């Protein structure tokens, strides 16, 4: 299908595709993390705007197990 001298271009194309795929994955991750950060900020603002009982989440309702 390819001449010996042309195979290197196939290798360049394949590795470039892998790098573009990696970049797309990193941008996707960034987008997801950004969305979660926004949601968390909104939740924190809601919680700060009123006492815990009035914010819709009861104190201690979500447990106290910490995972760092």
Partner 1 sequence: MIENFKASWWKFLGILMLLYVVAGGLLFEVPQLPVIRESIRNVYFHVGMWFSMMFITFAALVFSIRYLRYQRAEDDLRAVAAVKTGLVFGTLGLLTGMVWAKFTWGQFWVNDPKLNGAVVGMLIYLAYMVLRGSVEELEKRARLAAVYNVFAFVLFFVFIMILPRMAEASIHPGTDGNPALASGDLAPMMRKVFFPAMAAWFILAWWVFSLYYRLDRLRHQIAELTENY
Q: Given the rule CB under 8 A, which residues bind partner 1? A: 8, 11-12, 15-16, 19-20, 23, 26-27, 29-30, 33, 36-37, 40, 43-44, 47, 52, 57-68
Give whichever of 3 and 60 is closer to partner 1, judged by the CB atom.
Answer: 60
**Least Å distance between CB 18 and partner 1?**
9
Contact 17, 7 (CB under 8 A): no
Q: Which is nearer to partner 1, 4 or 61 (CB)?
A: 61
Distance CA 58, CA 49 (A): 14
Classify residue 51 by burial, with Cβ atoms within 10 Å: 0-12, 13-18, 19+: exposed
Least Cβ distance, residue 11 to partner 1 (angstroms):
6
Q: Distance from CA of residue 7 to its chain's centroid?
A: 36
């Amino acid at each position: 299908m390819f001449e010996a001298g042309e195979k290197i271009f196939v290798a360049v194309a394949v590795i470039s595709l892998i790098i573009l795929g990696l970049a797309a994955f990193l941008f996707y991750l960034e987008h997801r993390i950004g969305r979660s950060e926004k949601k968390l900020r909104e939740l924190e603002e809601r919680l700060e705007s009123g006492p815990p009982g009035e914010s819709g989440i009861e104190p201690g309702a979500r447990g106290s197990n910490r995972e760092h």
